[in-house]
Structure 1
Amino acid sequence: MSLFDLAGNGGAAGPADAVCSRKACRSGAEWQLLWNNPKIHTPERRKIWLACGEHRAWLEDYLQTRGLWKETVALNPAGRAS
């Protein structure tokens, strides 16, 4: 199972279907925000939120304020970190 399988469209999702994780935003994702909650996740675990260009800073700030943000990487056409 990949990140795109979680889109709920029967597994036919791909990078073109990746949408921003910001509530009510349906824009295409351009970034992967990698995060981890140290209270419940092992140190090497990385959760992923997707962000469009408009919401990248907002989502990063949200995670950083809570001490959860680890890294932001571009979402390349293959849907993997570049």
Structure 2
Amino acid sequence: MTTPTPDDALICSARGCRAPATYQLRWQNPRLHTPDRRKTWLACPAHRTSLGDFLDARGFLREVVPLPGSPTLES
């Protein structure tokens, strides 16, 4: 069970997760996006690896960075 977040809080992009996000997973689909374009998924510590693995398996993951203003947590 996750802790509810305020309506304006940035939450994890994992399906059904309502935990506060602490990471940005920046990705790009080279077949659809120009090389300089980055899309962003947000991740909580519990989903950082699974979301990153999903994107990486498809060759889309470009970088994972801490979300500004969030504590950096190691998973």
TM bucket, shorter chain: 0.7 to 0.9
* Identity among equivalent pairs (%): 47
Runs of 4 or more consecutive aligned structure 1 residues displaced over 4 Å after TM superposition = none
Count of residues in Structure 1 that have an aligned counterpart in Structure 2 = 64
Listed as ranges, the gaps of 5+ residues in structure 2 are 1-6, 71-75
Listed as ranges, the gaps of 5+ residues in structure 1 are 1-8
Mapped pair 1:58 → 2:37: no
Report which structure shows greater RCO (CA 8 Å, sep ≥6).
2
Q: TM-score, normalised by structure 2?
A: 0.81
Q: How does 1:15-54 map to 2 (within 5 A)?
A: 17-54=9-46
Secondary structure at the counterpart of residue 53 of structure 2: helix
RMSD: 1.3
Mapped pair 1:71 → 2:70: no
